Amino acid sequence: MTPRNFTPVLLASALLGLTMSTARFAQSIPSYGAPITVEQAKRAAEAAVAEMRKLNLDMTIAIVDSGSNLVYLERSNQAGIGTIDAAIGKAKAANDIKTPTKVIGDMILKHGQSNLLGVPGSFPVEGGFPIIVENKVIGAIGSSGGMPVDDGTVANAGAKGL
């Protein structure tokens, strides 16, 4: 296992290990698939933008491939500059850990897992979702610019947009 893959596996183990047996846990983590294409990323972004507009928000939406490389970024004219790095960070964390970023935050806040704050690349703020196609993580989407629940709603719409 390479160092790049080691951290996400440890974090995923910590996140899910509390509630399921090792055998069930190993079966529930999707593997990585071929990287998301630009066309797929644009479709996911379109779904996220539609939800963003429905909520009347200005946001940044970032999509990374299964290697956590930025593939697509869209920023509303009035979205804050700080939303760019936040959206990318959420997308990378969701891809690397193969779980929504809200789960990381919940484990810290609701289950006392403050050790997760020390995991490089973890982003314990709602708004990042892995994009899973045929039980394979092909990338992830992150959104930033609204309240956490809005960021999550927009990113989730994008993740389901494929």
Distance CA 67, CA 120 (A): 16
Q: Select from 59, 67, 73 the least CA-distant residue to 126.
A: 59
Which three-class secondary structure state does DSSP give residue 31?
strand
Q: Select from 60, 54, 123, 61 the least CA-distant residue to 95.
A: 123
Which residue segments constitute the domains of the chain, with CATH numbers given?
3-159 (3.30.450.150)
pLDDT of 3 above 50 = no
Distance CA 101, CA 34 (A): 22
| Chain-centroid distance, C-alpha 116 | 16
pLDDT of 112 above 90 = yes
pLDDT of 22 above 90 = no
- pTM over 0.85? The answer is no
